[in-house]
Amino acid sequence: MTLHADPKSPIYNYKVAAYNVSKSAVNAYTVQLAWELRDSTIKVNAVHPGHVKTDMGGAAAPMEIVDGAKSSVAMALIGGDGPNGSYTHMGKTLPW
């Protein structure tokens, strides 16, 4: 949302409404569910894989598939003191 509203953002012109709105819904649900489960051992986080050479990402994407998996694997391995309700890519927090 933050980057799509910023004309200086590199993704500003990638307006694919159904895809982008569904991703915003997933992000919003991440925040809501993380709060609901805040007193449990379950962590709820959203991960951006990067622009990856998959069927969807296309051959021109800069990241290899093995690197595109890294953020998801890292977040799958967080411990009890890990983040809850975050949005990350390669260890960095992203704006919603």
Ligand X SMILES: NC(=O)c1ccc[n+]([C@@H]2O[C@H](COP(=O)([O-])OP(=O)(O)OC[C@H]3O[C@@H](n4cnc5c(N)ncnc54)[C@H](OP(=O)(O)O)[C@@H]3O)[C@@H](O)[C@H]2O)c1
* Footprint of ligand X (CB under 6 A): 48-49, 51-52, 54-57, 61
- Under 8 Å between Cβ of 84 and 71: no
Q: How far is the CB of 35 from ligand X (least distance, A)?
A: 23
Rounded distance, CA 16 to CA 35, Å? 29
Report the residue number, 57 or 85, with the smaller CB distance to ligand X.
Answer: 57
Report the residue number, 38 or 65, with the smaller CB distance to ligand X.
Answer: 65
Q: How far is the CB of 81 from ligand X (least distance, A)?
A: 27
Report the residue number, 39 or 55, with the smaller CB distance to ligand X.
Answer: 55
Q: How far is the CB of 64 from ligand X (least distance, A)?
A: 11
The encoded tokens of residue 74 equal 């890292």
